Amino acid sequence: MGIGTSGAGNSRAILICFAAALVEGFDIQVAGIAAPRLGPALGLSPAQMGMFFSSATFGLIFGALAGGWLSDRHGRRAGLAISLAVFGLFSIGTALAGNYETLLVMRFMTGVGLGGALPNLVAIASESAPAERRGRAVALMYAGIPLGGAVVSLISIAGLGDGWRVLFVIGGLLPLMIVPLVMNLPDLRMAPKGRDVRGLGTVLGSGNLVPTVLLWAGFFFSLLVLYLLLNWLPALMVSRGFGRAEAGMVQLAFNLAGAAGSLLGGVALDARNRSFWVAGSFGGLVVALALLAVAPANIFVTLVVGAILGAAIISVQAVLYGIAPQCYPAEVRGQGVGLAVAVGRFGSVAGPLLAGALVAAGQSASEVLTGILPIAVLGGIATWLLTRRRRATSTS
């Protein structure tokens, strides 16, 4: 059964997805501002803090795989509701953690819920819109993630990160409040009833193998760059002489412009000449990285370049999330998107580790930023080839 065809019902589904994505963006980045108080409160060493951050990221990988399978097997609605409930409950569990071991389990399971939500959000947003507006629908949903990150940046700038347990409770209650709204949506199950849906064999079948590989490459390289910036941009700015409040302002500009970039990416994906727009987005990303590397330590210049960088990288993400569900038939769409997101999450793990290795090797902020330029180019080539291929397939 597909989603209802009424415009009001479709708009409601997309808005609910946007709200869920906003909460997800909040929860993904809130650990960063909670960490300075959380670490001393639980007596964590730097190595243990690193595991605290990594545990949620690894949970995202497993969650993306599980969420895609749930989506195709039991329906988009059930998959999203279960994922929201998992990350909400375990976020609250994080606030109640009293020792290191419990904290790791809570954050890993929070990551599982967060990772499981995204393939369902992408599938619902795509299937809630007419074919000619699917890119914009997914982009509107995805814009919620950087906006959620912007809320975290505002909390950091205002100095409200001291009550770290309260932050995780808020991050847990919000998704639980969205679960009833999700359950009131129409049944979004797209797979035929009465038999198991097709799985990995279809996703990697001869007709889907090339677009799948290109999609995986686009996700891996672009998420590597994105998560390197999300985790290291404030620290890199501080190393260039900015204060923490100024670094927080750069992060805020990055996230706010990213939300606008997501909407732009959706419009570009629905355009007839979308290959041109994709090339422009990746070109803008490469130029912004280069500019940020050589820009003087001036807050106004850095804010402008940081905003361009945020708009470019999130626009790229919106394009990838928008085109991913178009690569697969409905009965394996959740698994196809889930696998692509999971591969991308390996990039999100590699990005911060790469930056840490470069910084440990004595490289400056400028050298780190220029060092990831080839990675951004590789992601751009893969995504451009994918959009060209999808356009040729649609035309034929």
Tokens (6 digits) for 268: 């570009």
Per-residue model confidence (pLDDT) at position 194:
41
Grouping H, G, I as helix, E, B as strand and the rest as coil, residue 297 is: coil
Distance, in Å, from the CA atom of 245 to the CA atom of 307, rounded to the nearest integer, reads 16
Per-residue model confidence (pLDDT) at position 103:
94
Which listed CATH number (2.70.50.60, 1.10.760.10, 1.20.1740.10, 1.20.1250.20) goes with 1-189? 1.20.1250.20
CB atoms within 10 A of CB 238: 14
Whether 1-189 shares its CATH topology with 197-396 is answered yes
All structural domains of the chain with their residue ranges: 1-189, 197-396
Which listed CATH number (3.60.70.12, 1.10.3720.10, 3.40.50.10070, 1.20.1250.20) goes with 197-396? 1.20.1250.20
CB atoms within 10 A of CB 393: 12
Grouping H, G, I as helix, E, B as strand and the rest as coil, residue 137 is: helix
Question: In degrees, to the nearest 5, what angle opens at C-alpha 118 toward C-alphas 3 and 21?
Answer: 90
Q: How many residues does the chain have?
A: 396
Per-residue model confidence (pLDDT) at position 191:
47
Q: How far is CA 15 from the centre of its chain?
A: 17
Q: Which stretches of the chain score pLDDT less than 50?
A: 1-5, 191-196, 395-396
* Alpha-carbon distance values, 351 to 132, 193, 230, 334 (Å): 34, 41, 10, 25
Distance, in Å, from the CA atom of 319 to the CA atom of 313, rounded to the nearest integer, reads 10
Q: Looking at the whole model, is its pTM more than 0.85?
A: no
Question: In degrees, to the nearest 5, what angle opens at C-alpha 302 toward C-alphas 296 and 303?
Answer: 160
